[in-house]
Amino acid sequence: MSFEQARMLMEAANNLDKHRLGAYVALCVQVGIRTEEARALTWDHVDLDGKPDADPPVPPSIAVWRSVREHGDTKTLLSRRTLSLPQQTVEVLRRHRERQDQEHAKAGEAWQENDLVFCTRLGTKLDAGNVRRQFRVVTKAAGLGEGWTPQELRHTFVSLLSAAGTPVEEIARLAGHSSTRTTEVIYRKELRPVLTRGAETMDVILG
């Protein structure tokens, strides 16, 4: 997606009362995790407070250590990474958790506790079809049509960082690519060398 399309998407996704997948969209666009990593993300791997008094300070972050792949492994060893969260993403995830707590209370004994960040109204896992259908609702509401796939959120993350001047080596680390060649082959038409970083850059361009 272009910068303007990403802004339109984020505006629509921010309406969490209307879009249950809003926080999912925000996380994937602003942090660049794979859709299978987002579906497996648990709250015990999410730190929305960080440790500002530590030396050095620890920012809010997510630990991307699992996916919905067989045996729960990430795509590669380098895909295991801990990523700082942009402030906008922190705020969206806080609101998302509040709504999830309300759904938990409403479901009562029918709730199945899996500690998943993104789940159904009963706490169960989202499958790929769930995500695709809900994602199309968000893109349609954003005025972008329904021809997009959740995988393109990750492509958008890379494209936005590249356009903002982030070096390909840094993008590859953030995306969990096994080499910069993977990043360059897929995004080489848009990549150009620059000098900033993931979460800080996202706060500037989408915050």
Other Cβ atoms less than 10 A from the Cβ of 127: the count is: 11
Amino acid at position 164, single letter: A
Amino acid at position 162, single letter: S
- In this prediction, residue 195 carries a pLDDT of 37
96 included as an active-site residue: no
- In this prediction, residue 172 carries a pLDDT of 83
CATH architecture of 3-206: Orthogonal Bundle (1.10)
18 included as an active-site residue: no
Helix (H) or strand (E) holding 205: helix 198-206
Amino acid at position 26, single letter: A
User: What is the distance between the alpha carbons of residues 135 and 137, in angstroms, rounded to a whole number?
Assistant: 5
Question: Which position has the higher pLDDT, 207 or 166?
Answer: 166
Give pTM, 2 decimals. 0.81
187 included as an active-site residue: yes
Q: Predicted confidence band at 122 (pLDDT cuts at 50, 70, 90)?
A: very high
Strand runs (DSSP E) across the chain, as ranges? 46-47, 61-64, 81-84
- In the beta sheet, which residues pair with residue 119? 125
Whether 190 has a pLDDT exceeding 60, the answer reads no
154 included as an active-site residue: yes
Q: Predicted confidence band at 104 (pLDDT cuts at 50, 70, 90)?
A: very high
Active-site residue (options: 7, 75, 97, 155): 75
- In this prediction, residue 193 carries a pLDDT of 42
User: What is the distance between the alpha carbons of residues 203 and 171, in angstroms, rounded to a whole number?
Assistant: 16
Active-site residue (options: 19, 20, 96, 154): 154
Place of tokens 């790929």: 128
- In this prediction, residue 168 carries a pLDDT of 82
User: Mean per-residue pLDDT for 29-47?
Assistant: 91
Question: Which position has the higher pLDDT, 77 or 154?
Answer: 154
Q: What is the DSSP pairing of strand 46-47 with strand 81-84?
A: unpaired
User: What is the distance between the alpha carbons of residues 161 and 196, in angstroms, rounded to a whole number?
Assistant: 8
Active-site residue (options: 19, 34, 39, 66): 34
24 included as an active-site residue: no
